[in-house]
Amino acid sequence: MTRRGGFTLVELLVVIAIIGVLIALLLPAVQQAREAARRMQCTNKVKQLIIASHNVHDTYGIFPPAGGKSNGWNARVQRKGPFYNLAGSFFFHLLPYMEQNSLYDKAVGAGGNMDSSVDGRQVYNYIIEAYRCPSERSPAGASGYGYPTGPDKTHAVCNYGVNYMAFCDVSSNNQEGATNIAMVTDGLTNTVFFGERYGQCTSNKSSLWANSSGTWAPQICRGVNPKTGTCSVPQITPIYTSAGDSSSGGSSPHPGAMNVGLGDGSVTKVSGTIEASVWANLTNPIDGNVIGEY
């Protein structure tokens, strides 16, 4: 009678240990692959934002203001329809060019600004996925101060910020500017249009896609005068309580680098260790400085 061989306990433990080591080696690679895919999705979203802003320019001959409204913007839009008196964020004005025509048209019909009620909800309640970074882990909605506690509670957060310096009124350093391509004298290739932002709803660190007032707006470099000021470098490490306010150069949930959209339609990455002078030159549309390596 022959006896069947089997695994000893030691052999079984060795096999389990080997499998555990292989899994431990594989998981980081899987996470890196997933993050690479999310970063690519984010890159595509930033590119769509640039294209949408250029489509607005093609329609009206002018870019939307960094926030609110302006006489120049009103005058151009008035000739195209009855929404010349709109007040909203840059992202609010992009809605018709981000396949959100229905929301925009209903907001206009209900009162012509971002606070209008659409189908029983305020416009700023609507979560726009095109304004959300796939790597962002905070909820899409914000019910009050502090970390967002949505989804879809009071204000919908945005993970992208328009460059205040590129779209403000340079003469008065006011967000209610009316910029066109000719005013970007450094060239579209050398000017940041969009950066990333942490999705937050707290004091000057907020990023609410529909909001144009004060430090709640989805902007980077907010309030920095292109004639005299410089924008601080991005905050890449996710520190929600101390980084990423709208006056900074942006913040990113991606490890190591932040996606930025340039005015020519290209999307590139900048690290948190980018030289302050280079970032200042990239974000300023009129300084006339040569962009260094980054």
Residue 257, in any domain of the structure: yes
Residue 290, in any domain of the structure: no
SS (H, E, C) 87-148: EEEHHHHHHHHCCCHHHHHHHHHHCCECCCEECCEEHHHCCCHHHCCCCCCCCCEECCCECC
Using DSSP, state whether 179 is helix, strand or coil.
coil
pLDDT tens profile 231-254: 988 887 654 444 456 678 888 888
Q: Is 249 exposed, middle or buried (0-12, 13-18, 19+ CB in 10 A)?
A: buried
Is the pLDDT at 170 greater than 80? The verdict is: yes
SS (H, E, C) 3-16: CCCCCCHHHHHHHH
Residue 69, in any domain of the structure: yes
Instruction: Assign 97 a pLDDT band (cuts: 50, 70, 90).
Output: very high
Residue 248: both structure tokens together:
């900074």
Residue 14, in any domain of the structure: no
* Count of structural domains, the chain: 1
Residue 121, in any domain of the structure: yes
Range of the domain at 184: 43-283
Residue 187, in any domain of the structure: yes
pLDDT tens profile 49-60: 999 999 999 988
Using DSSP, state whether 193 is helix, strand or coil.
strand
Residue 175, in any domain of the structure: yes
Residue 215, in any domain of the structure: yes
pLDDT at residue 77, rounded to an integer? 66
Which residues have C-beta within 8 Å of that of residue 181, sequence separation ≥ 6?
57, 188, 263
The DSSP call for residue 252 is -
CA distance 192 to 109: 33
